Amino acid sequence: MQINEVLSKASVIPVLEVAALKDAAPLALALAAGGLEVIELTLRTACALEALEAMKIAAPSLIVGMGTIRSAGDIEQSTAAGADFLVSPGASTSLLGALAGAGVPALAGVATASEAMTAFEAGFAAMKFFPAEPAGGIAYLKSLAGPLPDVVFCPTGGITAEKAPAYLALPNVACVGGSWIATRAMIAQSNWDEIEANAKMAASLK
């Protein structure tokens, strides 16, 4: 699977932080029941790698990526745990090389035109635009469309359910990332019905 195939299956990719392993399976089931096909788990908690494995077992139909990839070690651990794709918040030259050789699709994180050009030269035509809202949001992405017509983005960071449609309307946006579908509080409180409802709404966006 190539990264463009992953992105084609998503309008909104939920960005998830799982702090307790017991929450991984019911979270995966709620997101799948809501109609989502692609999710991103973040490598920010002690149980993240185990949670990824548990989510893939609970909902085999889900394409589960690992985000917050910052080093070659993160790549090795995440792919060993079964990550279907990788996402970085930013990308140094060495990380771009490691992502290119990871053996699974990857979204390199960029926030400027120069970073996007560097990632493109390293073989990445699809990138994560992060942090989207603080980095300039819709206006900035519009300004990149002219000089970088062969780059598509998955903007993430500060995007809400209300803002998502405007991002998705941009020709250089393949999908968006959003933590609002399943926030840390919702997960900790086992609000699976609310998460499923949010997932259904996200899945309906085009």
CB atoms within 10 A of CB 146: 8
pLDDT in tens, 3-60: 999 999 999 999 999 999 999 999 999 999 999 999 999 999 999 999 999 999 999 9
127 burial class (0-12, 13-18, 19+ CB within 10 angstroms)?
buried
Task: Give the domain ranges of the chain.
Answer: 3-204
pLDDT in tens, 60-83: 999 999 999 999 999 999 999 999
Q: pLDDT category, 169, cuts 50, 70, 90?
A: very high
Q: Which two tokens stand for residue 28?
A: 């995966």
Q: pLDDT category, 110, cuts 50, 70, 90?
A: very high
Q: pLDDT category, 206, cuts 50, 70, 90?
A: confident
142 is catalytic: no
206 is catalytic: no
Instruction: Find the catalytic residue in 40, 56, 163, 196.
Output: 40
- The Cα 149–Cα 131 span in angstroms is 21
- The Cα 108–Cα 58 span in angstroms is 28
Which pTM value belongs to this model? 0.97
Q: What kind of architecture, by CATH, is found in domain 3-204? A: Alpha-Beta Barrel (3.20)
pLDDT in tens, 117-142: 999 999 999 999 999 999 999 999 99
Instruction: Find the catalytic residue in 56, 128, 163, 196.
Output: 128
Would you say residue 184 has pLDDT above 90?
yes
Say what the pLDDT of residue 39 is.
98
3-state secondary structure the chain: CCHHHHHHCCCEEEEECCCCHHHHHHHHHHHHHCCCCEEEEECCCCCHHHHHHHHHHHCCCCEEEEECCCCHHHHHHHHHCCCCEEECCCCCHHHHHHHHCCCCCEEEEECCHHHHHHHHHCCCCEEEECCCCCCCHHHHHHHHHCCCCCCEEEEECCCCCCCHHHHHCCCCECCEEECCCCCHHHHHCCCHHHHHHHHHHHHHCC
Say what the pLDDT of residue 37 is.
98
Average pLDDT (156-179) is 98
